[in-house]
Structure 1
């Protein structure tokens, strides 16, 4: 073979080899990119899974926190949830709150309900609100636990009083604050100190309620949000005595509601099946026929069931 041909052949072979190598390198690069994409998707899935697991744990922690607060009748506040449950994950509030609601409803038969905003009752508070021109708050940022059980499971034989401190003391306390709240609502939502004392005297509860002093029980009711005690003092420079009045608190509005007051009155009067009685009762409470909610209840809340766990 001539020398020129011998020299040309290796060049041709090398050229063939180079042409074959180029697509192989491209295939290798494409395969590497695909592997990186798969690894990235696996990392995202792992991150989402870890986030879901963290949210689920925080939701369970929120459930435990809510139940512990409810036993002491302490309002479950948004700030407390962020401090004691969420920690540095404050932005996860809505997501964790929704998960906790699902767990409470499906497992515990309860749900968290936001308490209404405290109303301005005294003349001084109303004047301050008018001067500030501030927009009213849409929510109080405080919650309590309420039962979601059907009516047939809400009987006293099923939802017995809590054993802390004792079943008898718990039943007495529940009956007392429900009665006082009913008195206030039946008097147009405001009860003077003089009228309250007259009612307590008739109940033989002006000094003691079970084994506790009445003033101690009333202060506890005020602290827990069942009632609000308002002291209206005369303006500076004017003579006159201060007036004390009692109003329905935010917890009572959500836990007892007008339906609870109507149930108590009907029970006292032997559950009369009389339209005239029902009409008089509604008139005393200052209400008319109200539309029912999705749960078949009237708009102002349930019968008090939150502490009969």
Structure 2
């Protein structure tokens, strides 16, 4: 029978179109997708090695920079590191910083610690902070080089004063600013200009400290971040005298801390094991004791700040 005369079988309408009835073809898979990843070439290895060598050099440069800043007690700022050390590699700050930290701890027994953010102290500063829409920064962006040695290696017989400019002047300077910071902390975190001058007069240090004028030393302490001098002037149109107060600076909080203040007071008064004396000392520093279940301590208590100093 000719093909034209053959009867066609009726196609039932089951809802499928001709396109649906056709067998679906498998998508063509490119050969490149099935191939395994190529192993790194020698050129890539050389580039990685060159990057590693550059990072090592920058980390050593950063270590030299922070040690030089620490001898002069110059604030180590993030912007200064990017400008003087990293240069065009400023985007690699985190990687270089961590590498330098590892070398500082392993070789030098030191580490970089970020200073706390400077607090808003006056009413005007607090109002300006509330009005500003800028978000608060998580860190100060300034660092200090601190010892990372175990506690048993931090005795005065091992950690002697620096020989720059000489050991005697350095010891005098350290003793003075530790005493000054302790006085401020024992007065609730701030001390008036009049009260500070009375205290210095009792120490015979109101005019001269060794071979330097006390005024010059106080300005240096303020510049280095050990203390903060606040001058509150009366508003425009109001009569009155300006008020000067001294506060604990961010460097003192990190370098001395409350432990250093308590250690100094114990040495001066000679009551290291007196429980009643420790209770009065903690009260003067604005500390409160908590039971052993909430913290720890040699005497079964822990301390925490109450006045925010």
Normalising by structure 1, what TM-score?
A: 0.81
State the alpha-carbon separation in 1 of the partners of residues 54 and 139 from structure 2.
28
Query: CA RMSD of the aligned region, Å?
Result: 2.1
Gaps in structure 2 of 5+ consecutive residues: 1-35
State the alpha-carbon separation in 1 of the partners of residues 167 and 155 from structure 2.
16
Conserved? CA contact 2:111–2:145, under 8 Å:
yes
Q: How does 1:1-309 map to 2 (within 5 A)?
A: 41-289=41-289, 291=295
Which structure dedicates a bigger proportion of its chain to helix? Answer: 1
More RCO (CA 8 Å, sep 6+)? 1
Conserved? CA contact 1:259–1:298, under 8 Å:
no
Normalising by structure 2, what TM-score?
A: 0.81
- Following superposition, the deviation at residue 298 of structure 1 comes to 7.9
Conserved? CA contact 1:292–1:299, under 8 Å:
no
Between 1:267-276 and 1:181-190, the stretch displaced more is: 267-276
Please name the residue that 1:27 is paired with. Answer: none
Q: Secondary structure at the match of 1:87?
A: helix
Residues 155-212 of structure 1: per-residue CA shift (max 9 Å, x gap): 1111111111111100000000000000000000010000000000010000000110
- Following superposition, the deviation at residue 72 of structure 1 comes to 0.3
Gaps in structure 1 of 5+ consecutive residues: 1-33, 301-309
State the alpha-carbon separation in 1 of the partners of residues 278 and 265 from structure 2.
10
Q: Secondary structure at the match of 1:155?
A: coil
State the alpha-carbon separation in 2 of the partners of residues 108 and 50 from structure 1.
26
Conserved? CA contact 1:224–1:251, under 8 Å:
yes
State the alpha-carbon separation in 2 of the partners of residues 185 and 81 from structure 1.
32
**Alignment size in residue pairs:** 262
State the alpha-carbon separation in 1 of the partners of residues 296 and 244 from structure 2.
35
State the alpha-carbon separation in 2 of the partners of residues 65 and 194 from structure 1.
39
